[in-house]
Amino acid sequence: MRIVSLCSSSKANCTYIENDGEGILVDVGCSFKALRDGLAMIDRSIDNIKAIFITHEHSDHIAGLMQVTKNTKIPVFASEGTLSRIIDEKKAFTYENLYTIGELDRAPLKLIPAAFHTPHDSAESMGYTFTAGDTKIAVCTDVGHITPEVRENLLGCRFVLLESNYDPNMLIRNIKYPPVLKQRIRSDRGHLSNPDSGVFARELIKSGTTSILLGHLSQENNTPEIAYNNMINSLSYIGAQVGRDFRLDVAAVHGTGKSVIV
């Protein structure tokens, strides 16, 4: 199984997952052109995509979705709440190929998808797991805190794309952000901080996770170096060492074409 982050930040998110030549996307937060360019960078095209899974309706996750539905017949899956919000807000949206997560059998895939709720300030935010044989992976961002449902679905995954959105000290010192926005980010329906991500990663490693990709980093309140070092330090508390017990990467704002193979 191959995972490539085509883009990941507070401004645009899109993840490509491939198994046995079959590709899927989680979110299309970049433009249609950027999506095609990102796929070309890894020698793939839009024709390789067999299904798209949307986490929620915020623009950094669906910015390119309208163009995808206008130009392709790729089935798109999302929660009922997310689909309702997308259709209500995008009156010109082409939605003949939009399906709820209860209709996953409309896209028979070699990867078996499953959805779970994530606590975020949107209509009905979801995370996704994908299973092939005995290998299970997960994409989980925009999660204000780790709920029992999130924990149940992520523990035991071999690979997890996990949110590590902000450094608390950087957020506090950020004079560009008003107090109400800072509170939204820190809330239980906001985003996962570096420290909280690191604490939960200890559970992941103990459950058998061998590869973690940190994603959805804020460009204003985080840096890849801070997020990476926080995770290394957090996992050292349980004696886990990068390169020996787990692989750790940070998703780039704009994809580099670098793959995670699990």
Spatial distance between the Cα atoms of 139 and 82, rounded to a whole number of angstroms: 17
Q: How far apart are CA 203 and CA 197, in angstroms?
A: 10
- pLDDT attached to residue 28: 97
Q: Where are the alpha helices (DSSP H) in the chain?
A: 32-41, 59-62, 65-71, 80-89, 148-154, 168-173, 179-186, 194-207, 224-236
- Read off the pTM: 0.96
Residue 66: both structure tokens together: 């309208």
Query: What's the first-to-final CA gap in the chain, in angstroms?
Result: 5
HSE of 197, CA atoms in CB hemisphere, 13 A: 33
Mean pLDDT by 10 residues, the chain (262 residues): 97 97 96 96 96 97 92 94 84 71 87 97 97 97 98 98 98 97 98 98 98 98 98 98 97 94 95
Q: What is the pLDDT of residues 164-218, one digit of tens each?
A: 999 999 999 999 999 999 999 999 999 999 999 999 999 999 999 999 999 999 9
- Rounded CA-CA distance 18/30 in Å is 19
pLDDT at position 9 is 96
So what's the pLDDT on residue 108? 82
Beta strands in 73-144 (DSSP E): 76-78, 98-100, 112-117, 126-132, 135-140
Q: What is the pLDDT of residue 115?
A: 97
- Going from the N-terminus, what domains does the chain have, and what CATH number goes with each? 2-261 (3.60.15.10)
Phi, psi of 42 (to 5 degrees): -110, 25
Confidence (pLDDT) at 236 = 98
